[in-house]
Structure 1
Amino acid sequence: MGTVIMHSVVSVDGYIADENDDVGPLHDWYFSGDTPITEGDDQRYDHSGAGSGFKVSRASAEYVRRMWESIGTIVMGRTLFDLVNGWEGSPPAGDHVVVVSHRPKPEGWHPEASYRFLDDVPAAIGKARELAGERVVAVNAGEVGGQALAAGLVDEVAMDVVPVVFGSGKSYFGSIRGQHLLEDPHVVVQGDGVLHLRFKVGRRAK
């Protein structure tokens, strides 16, 4: 099975959005550089609606490209699904999406898209790993990611840290409680307006 990575863009004080789910300047770096995430005419990651796609610094492009190309399945919560309308059935990375929700998929919504709706985080991670095979499962940070981490289902934590302080908002780790050990970062990439970090999740001795 592939690696399960909890991931999101995050402020330096640990928030992925404000109380109203507004990301403010957190995603500005996706559009402030001169290097497309994909090379040539590949529009796979162009979800900007402007036809120009994401353009970031060269360092960020290399990091994000490798990251996104490794993903087989994305796991997301219902709040994010509703906010982006499930990316209209075409996720920015991977071939499959698993949505953690007590509500079913909206009737008639993109029947061709490989989206599964499950109401349990462990079951969602299990289905996502099955669908991803040897590829990465990317779990969106927040409540779903925090629950997966607390359940011991996350192998790595990936954070794209943006130099902004929110003061309050939606926490990267959701409402997780207790201490959870991470190893020293094994990936540190400095882009323009963002710092990419990846930590392996520490395993406590039993």
Structure 2
Amino acid sequence: MARLIYSAITSLDGYVEDEQGQFDWAEPDAEVMAAVNELERPIGTYLYGRRMYDTMVFWETADTGPDQPPEDRDFTQLWRAADKVVYSRTLRSVASARTRIEREFDPAAVHRLKEASPADLSIGGAELAGQAMAAGLVDECHLFLNPVIVGGGKGALPRGVRARLQLVHERPFAGGVVHLHYRCV
């Protein structure tokens, strides 16, 4: 069975965006981006909420010329090669290839997707990931903690959901980011 993996770039105090909805403090440097790419390499399908899709669809038309950083070119290719499922009640059409819209998040359908998928799945967007965690579908969490405190905003982890996690690996980066890899038990 494929794994469902939740990855997030967060502030040290656990937010994926600040109270103004900004996340400019979270832009990964080359070293972190290369690590993200290695995590994304086995992903065959991305599951997104509407807002996360609106952010990530940038990669559909991102420049892949030689003047772009190699880590960005690599991520662009990985993103374009994967299937995408966008959960939205309001989105009428998609702006990327290999993408379909689902109107409701159905845990049973995601479980069937995990069973049938030849490659791992990634879930993006804190709210959607929270629903998947509450349903017991998330197998692993990867948190990239940034050396910044934003004081509030959208939390990276769901409220009201209890889960036991086992630390699998930790990796500090030169710029102060720390990657924490957990298995959900």
Same fold (TM over 0.5): yes
Q: Letter of the 1:67 partner, please give it.
A: L
Residue number among 138, 144, 164 corresponding to 2:128 in the alignment: 144
In structure 2, C-alpha distance between the alignment counterparts of 1:7 and 1:186, rounded to whole Å: 14
**Who is 1:101 aligned against?**
88
In structure 1, C-alpha distance between the alignment counterparts of 2:160 and 2:179, rounded to whole Å: 25
Which string of whole-angstrom CA distances, capped at 9 and with x for unpartnered residues, describes residues 134-163 of structure 1?
A: 322111141000110011010011101111
Q: Please state which structure has a larger fraction of its residues in helix.
A: 2
**Who is 1:34 aligned against?**
none
**Residues 97 and 128 in structure 1, CA contact (< 8 A), matched pair in contact too:** no
> Aligned-pair distance for 1:129?
3.3
Q: 3-state DSSP class of the match of 2:151?
A: coil
**Who is 2:11 aligned against?**
11
Sequence identity percentage: 28
TM-score by structure 1 length? 0.71
The 5 Å alignment of 1:77-92 reads: 77-84=49-56, 86-87=57-58, 89=60, 92=76
The 5 Å alignment of 1:155-166 reads: 155-166=139-150
Which string of whole-angstrom CA distances, capped at 9 and with x for unpartnered residues, describes residues 52-111 of structure 1?
A: xxx226xx63x3332121111111111122345x236468435111111112442xx44x
- Aligned pair count reads 167
In structure 2, C-alpha distance between the alignment counterparts of 1:124 and 1:23, rounded to whole Å: 31
Residue number among 158, 162, 168 corresponding to 1:179 in the alignment: 162
In structure 2, C-alpha distance between the alignment counterparts of 1:127 and 1:76, rounded to whole Å: 17
In structure 2, C-alpha distance between the alignment counterparts of 1:199 and 1:88, rounded to whole Å: 27
Q: Letter of the 1:25 partner, please give it.
A: W
Q: Letter of the 1:7 partner, please give it.
A: S
Q: 3-state DSSP class of the match of 2:2?
A: coil
Residue number among 104, 114, 122 corresponding to 1:129 in the alignment: 114
Which string of whole-angstrom CA distances, capped at 9 and with x for unpartnered residues, describes residues 109-134 of structure 1?
A: 44x71111112222663475377x23
**Residues 48 and 124 in structure 2, CA contact (< 8 A), matched pair in contact too:** yes
Superposition CA RMSD, Å:
2.5
**Residues 75 and 125 in structure 1, CA contact (< 8 A), matched pair in contact too:** no
In structure 2, C-alpha distance between the alignment counterparts of 1:69 and 1:182, rounded to whole Å: 23
> Aligned-pair distance for 1:21?
2.2
Which string of whole-angstrom CA distances, capped at 9 and with x for unpartnered residues, describes residues 148-190 of structure 1?
A: 001101001110111111110011024x31421111x112111
**5+ long unaligned stretches in structure 2:** 62-74
**Who is 1:73 aligned against?**
45
Report which structure shows greater RCO (CA 8 Å, sep ≥6): 2
Which string of whole-angstrom CA distances, capped at 9 and with x for unpartnered residues, describes residues 6-62 of structure 1?
A: 1110111110011332103111x32xxxxxxxxxxxxxxxxxxxxxxxx226xx63x
